[in-house]
Structure 1
C-alpha cells in the first residue's frame, strides 16, 4: 500500500479527518455506473422508495428491545466525538438501525463504512461528487431514484441508498465482502479500502450486531 494512502486511512480510522474533510470534502472513491438489468433496476428502485421521518425499529420481543437499547447506548457513547447533541445521535442511530436491518447488513459494518467514507459528516462531498454519510454517487438518484440528487444529503435517503447499494454489491459478489466493499468504493480488487472499512468496523462491534 502506498504510504500516502496508508496515512490517509490511519487518520480517518483515528477519527482525525484530513484537511479536505475539514472543508466539507470527502476522500471517497468513485462508484462506477454500470448497466443494470431491468429486473434489477426495478427491484433496487422499489428498495429505495419511501422513507421520511426517522423510522421506529420493529422490536418484537423484550429481548429484541433490550438488544436495541444496549446497542443504542453503547454506539451513542462512541458517536459523541462526531455528533455532540444526543438528539442528533438518537436520530442517526435509530435510522441506521432501521436501514441496515432492512438491507440485511451488519450494523457495525455500516458504521465502519460511514466512518471511512465521510467521518460522519452529513454534507460530505468527494472530489468525484459522492454525497453524504455513505458517499452515494448522484447517478444512483437518476438510475433507481426520482432524480433529486439533493436528497442524498438527507439522513434517511442517504442511508437507504447506501445500504441498498452495498447489499446489491454483496449480492453481485456472492457474499464476498472484500470485493463488495471494493466495488462500493470503485476500487474492486484492491485491498486498501476493504481493510480500512473492516478495521473501522471493529471499533463499532456490539454484542447484538
Structure 2
C-alpha cells in the first residue's frame, strides 16, 4: 500500500511531462534518503544533491508556490515531505517523553545476556539511586530555615541575611540602655568637629572637603540616635 507521500508523488507525476516527472522522482528519492539519514531538508542540501545526480535546478524553480498560474509540483512534493518529516519528529519526541531512560525495569535486566555485565549495571544503578536520594535530601535541607539559639530560645531564619539582621538588631537593643554613653556621643556630635558643623538654621554642613571613607562621628552615633528615638517614641 503506497504511503501518503507516494500517493502525492504519483498524483503529481500523472499530470506532469516526462522531464518534470523525472525531476519529481529524483527529488522524492533524495528527500527519502535525507529522512533516513537524518539530513536537514534545506534548499541548499536539496539543490546540491540534485546537482550530484546531474540535475540542475534553481531554488526558485523548486520553492516558488505557483508556476504559470498553477501550483508548483516541486513545491507541493517538498511541502508534503516537510510535513511528513515534522510528524515523524513529533512522534519520536512523544515516544521519548513516555520512556524514562533513567529507570531500569526487570525487562531491561533480562535483556542483558552477560551475567557479569548485568551485575555491573545493577551496582551502577543502585549507586545512581543512592546519589539521587542524597541530592533530594540536600535540596530539602537547603530549604529548611536556619536556627539561631538566643537566650534559651530558638529563632528560625529564612537565610543567613536574616540571621545577620537579627544579630545587628540584638547589638543595637543591647546598647539602648547605655544612655550616659549615648548622651556623650550626641553632645560631641552636636559640638561639631573639623569636618562637620551646623549652620545658623541648624543644618548639618561639611566644614571642608570630605573623602570617601572618612570617619565623621563616633562609632556609636547610630546606636545613640536609635536610643534617642526610642525614648521620644515612648
Name the TM tier (shorter chain).
under 0.3
Structure number with greater Rg is 2
Structure scoring higher RCO (CA < 8 A, sep ≥ 6) equals 1
Is the helix fraction higher in 1 or 2? 2
Q: TM-score by structure 2 length?
A: 0.17
